[in-house]
Structure 1
Amino acid sequence: MVSILILLVCASMSTPSTPEATATTPAPTETTPDAPASMGLPQTIKRVAPGVVTIKTFDAHGDPLGLGSGFLIEGGRVVTNAHVVENAARAEVYDSEEQLLGVTDYAESLSAHVDLAVLPAMPHPPTTLRLATSELLIGESIFVIGAPQGLSNTVSTGIISALRGHEGKRWIQITAPISQGSSGGPVLNQSGEVVGVSVAVLRDGQNLNFAVPIRDVKALIGSPPGRITFTGPRPQNQPQETTLPASEPQPPPKPNFNKLLLASPRIASNQTLSGELNEDDTEFGSGGRMELFSAEGKKGDVYTLISTSESFSPAIDALIANSNGAPEGIGTMDRSGEHLSRIVIRLRNSGVFGILVSKSTSNLTGSYKIGLFKGEVSLLDASKRMSANRWQLITKESKYSIYFDKTSFRKITQTHRRAWVWWQYHGWESHSSGRYNHYKSQQEFDCTERATHRLSDAYYEDEQLIDSDEPSSRWVPWTPGSIGEFVGETVCGL
């Protein structure tokens, strides 16, 4: 008996094949009340297509690794195949209009056994797809949306032809073609609900395509989210004999400004932050220093960027990553005073952009303030808003920045302090009530016993409060060398 060999559809550069077969459109079932009986397949495809994404993976050097597909589910998370992100160092997620939705170097859930992965939530998902409440029967019509060779929203139609068991796994066999690069895309019923995930084709057969059933998708989505770092190999030093000869010098590594942005402190719209430029910051030119912040907006949004300092003359720049991954300036700085500069920008594309604060001389260090305001804001209005800033930066790390509220700071006793502390994450975190990227906690600090007691917690998705509580937290001693010890010592030193 000829054994069935299943070839996982990895991203490659072969010519896509997307033949279409004619399918009838059954009436919607009671499980899809929002799909009217009059809605045909073209209208259904138009409605759900924005929820299908293209996934581009890169190795640790920033070089392209492959292409795959995926789809957005409730909360903005992305479902795809595990093999799409296999060996990757990072993955970029693009919508149907080729706009960058987000970048990640980890999955929240992953199962190599059923070849599924759930990537963290995208900040601004255009739409999300519904999961079918039950599996389809053999013979029912389906359609598949994917991105072979990056050609987003490529549609093919077919039927459920069989249910197969192989190597302890259950597969849906479908007649709709799965072209290379479409792996990870959704298989949908005629109402536009996901019934499976495209995964494989028969190596020696013709038009024998397979998908992971919806029950496996629901099981992985329902598992507690974690942080599973991609397993991409890290660059290693090559031996001398493999380097290019002196007449052919090694090319410099390709820039990866998007990755740098994701590791930078995030500033939200209508927010001001305080910082300091000193010898620990990135050096450039003749000894000047600079710090990079990141922000996020939609195509067509207008923002005003302001930087002020009483210690030096600050410069401010707005940057995006161009098609080659290098930083590219947007907007022109309007220096309206010796200690004040401004930029008004209009975003050409949706996604993350950078805000660079710098000083050109090496003999000056000092504090500064930076503000990001929605719309075009006058200098007078911006100055008033920035002077009222209440949050003082404690530390900035690769994954978050921490501030404390100067207005809530209190010396309770000679040895006790109390203040609200704010963790501003540069990516998305998971909570029982949804995703969040801001966490504020009212805390009391025992400076003698070196311990912290949480009094109140609040979780935010950008500026929207999603949950709050009053934990009955016990006094927790500061772990030596931990960020908790650093925050405690900083607040106690005030």
Structure 2
Amino acid sequence: MASIAGKRATLAGIRTEVRSRPVARGMRRLRVPRASSITAGLGLLLFVAVSAAGVGVEISTMRAQERSIEGLRTQVHSLQGTIDAQPDWASIARQVEPSVFTIETAYGLGSGWVARAGASGSELVTNFHVIDEAWSSGVGAVDVRQGDRTIRGTIERVDPNDDLAIIHVTEVLPTLRTAPARPTLAQAVMVVGSPLGLGGSISVGVISGFRSVEGSDYVQFSAPISPGNSGGPVVDARGRVVAVASAKFEGPGIEALSLGIPVQTACTAAVVCQPGSDK
């Protein structure tokens, strides 16, 4: 990912170069300790006590075991409910992917998503740093790719301060809805984009914070992103865009600290989006 235009000089600790190689991450092995000798001794004492106490203690133990089994059964039902409540990411990916494209210039590539469509064609949102070198060179044309399909696009508007750009294509493409409000902490999200040019890639995580860098607001999330994800949508469990993937913190011991531009900023500064509802 390329650095955020107008702010790239002092974003200490943030790696935003589109064509740079990811830093290799360290691996820390976790070890589960063996059961302590105290626990083993307790098991032996319990066995001896039950053997010596006779039938009365055995009945008491059986009742305790029944209560324990019932408790476990309740926990299983609760866990099943939690599993059933998890987002169906496969279904959401099928819903979102038709609206997400690879944005490519002679200088690099990133991702983009369709925010609006009409009789004159469609508008895609991406990061300015994805197309900034082409724009600075006076080249207004970009390739908008999805699988084997390539559409010729034109850089229509740019907002370097908010690191946003709008790409226009003459084809009518499926749009993504945007979330009506800011996401909440721990909310599940999915990123769709083209890391290293691998279109249609997804990663999932949660909203982990809200940050301000040099006066600009960002949504922090744990879903991993890589060079090429810039400009792609970060969507909620309903497939609504909550942010535009833009950058990440990177360094020794740093993992899953990704940043996105709030979709409200993108829709206000760059394009009229298609708002979703809370229902």
Q: TM-score range by the shorter chain?
A: 0.5 to 0.7
Secondary structure of 1:206 counterpart: coil
Map of 2:217 onto structure 1: 170
Q: Distance in 1 between matches of 2:183 and 2:92?
A: 17
Secondary structure of 1:49 counterpart: helix
- Gap change, CA 1:111 and 1:126, over 3 Å in 2: closer
Map of 2:102 onto structure 1: 54
Do 1:25 and 1:141's aligned partners in 2 also have CA atoms closer than 8 Å? Answer: no
Number of residue equivalences? 196
Map of 1:86 onto structure 2: 132
Give 1:114-129 correspondences, 5 Å limit: 114-120=162-168, 122-129=169-176
Q: Distance in 2 between matches of 1:170 and 1:196?
A: 11
Do 2:220 and 2:260's aligned partners in 1 also have CA atoms closer than 8 Å? Answer: yes
**Aligned mate of 2:256, from 186, 207, 232:** 207
Counterpart of 2:95 in structure 1: which amino acid? R
Q: Distance in 2 between matches of 1:15 and 1:99?
A: 32
**Aligned mate of 1:100, from 136, 146, 150:** 150
Q: Distance in 2 between matches of 1:15 and 1:98?
A: 30
Map of 2:202 onto structure 1: 155
Q: Distance in 1 between matches of 2:24 and 2:170?
A: 31
Map of 2:108 onto structure 1: 66
- Gap change, CA 1:112 and 1:6, over 3 Å in 2: farther
Question: Could you list the runs of 5+ residues in structure 2 that have no partner in the other structure?
Answer: 1-10, 26-81, 273-279
Q: Distance in 1 between matches of 2:83 and 2:263?
A: 22
Give 1:26-41 correspondences, 5 Å limit: 40-41=88-89
**Shift of the alpha carbon at 1:9?**
4.2
Q: Distance in 2 between matches of 1:213 and 1:156?
A: 18
Secondary structure of 2:231 counterpart: coil
Q: Distance in 2 between matches of 1:114 and 1:45?
A: 27
Do 2:189 and 2:237's aligned partners in 1 also have CA atoms closer than 8 Å? Answer: yes
**Shift of the alpha carbon at 1:107?**
2.7
Map of 1:8 onto structure 2: 16
**Shift of the alpha carbon at 1:73?**
1.4
- Gap change, CA 1:145 and 1:222, over 3 Å in 2: closer
Determine whether 1:44 maps to 2:92.
yes
Structure number with higher strand proportion: 1
**Shift of the alpha carbon at 1:77?**
0.2
- Gap change, CA 1:115 and 1:207, over 3 Å in 2: same
Secondary structure of 1:83 counterpart: helix
Counterpart of 2:178 in structure 1: which amino acid? L
Secondary structure of 1:113 counterpart: helix
Structure number with higher helix proportion: 2
- Gap change, CA 1:80 and 1:56, over 3 Å in 2: same
Do 1:138 and 1:162's aligned partners in 2 also have CA atoms closer than 8 Å? Answer: yes
**Shift of the alpha carbon at 1:211?**
0.4
- Gap change, CA 1:118 and 1:94, over 3 Å in 2: closer
**Shift of the alpha carbon at 1:150?**
1.3
Do 2:191 and 2:234's aligned partners in 1 also have CA atoms closer than 8 Å? Answer: yes
Counterpart of 2:148 in structure 1: which amino acid? E
Q: Distance in 2 between matches of 1:170 and 1:25?
A: 34
Secondary structure of 1:86 counterpart: helix
Secondary structure of 1:181 counterpart: coil
Question: Could you list the runs of 5+ residues in structure 1 that have no partner in the other structure?
Answer: 18-22, 28-38, 59-64, 224-494
Map of 2:275 onto structure 1: none
**Shift of the alpha carbon at 1:137?**
0.4
**Deviation digits for residues 223-274 of structure 1 (CA, Å, limit 9, x no counterpart):** 7xxxxxxxxxxxxxxxxxxxxxxxxxxxxxxxxxxxxxxxxxxxxxxxxxxx
- Gap change, CA 1:184 and 1:25, over 3 Å in 2: farther
Give the aligned CA root-mean-square deviation in angstroms: 2.6
Q: Distance in 2 between matches of 1:91 and 1:176?
A: 31
Secondary structure of 2:181 counterpart: coil
**Shift of the alpha carbon at 1:79?**
0.2
Q: Which has the higher contact order (CA 8 A, sep 6+)?
A: 2
Q: Distance in 2 between matches of 1:113 and 1:24?
A: 42
Map of 2:269 onto structure 1: 220
- Gap change, CA 1:188 and 1:52, over 3 Å in 2: same
**Shift of the alpha carbon at 1:93?**
3.2
Do 2:243 and 2:261's aligned partners in 1 also have CA atoms closer than 8 Å? Answer: yes
**Deviation digits for residues 4-53 of structure 1 (CA, Å, limit 9, x no counterpart):** 43222424576999xxxxx97858xxxxxxxxxxx822111101101000
TM-score w.r.t. the length of structure 1 is 0.37
Map of 1:265 onto structure 2: none
Q: Distance in 1 between matches of 2:21 and 2:84?
A: 33
Secondary structure of 2:152 counterpart: strand
Secondary structure of 1:184 counterpart: coil
Q: Distance in 2 between matches of 1:16 and 1:84?
A: 23
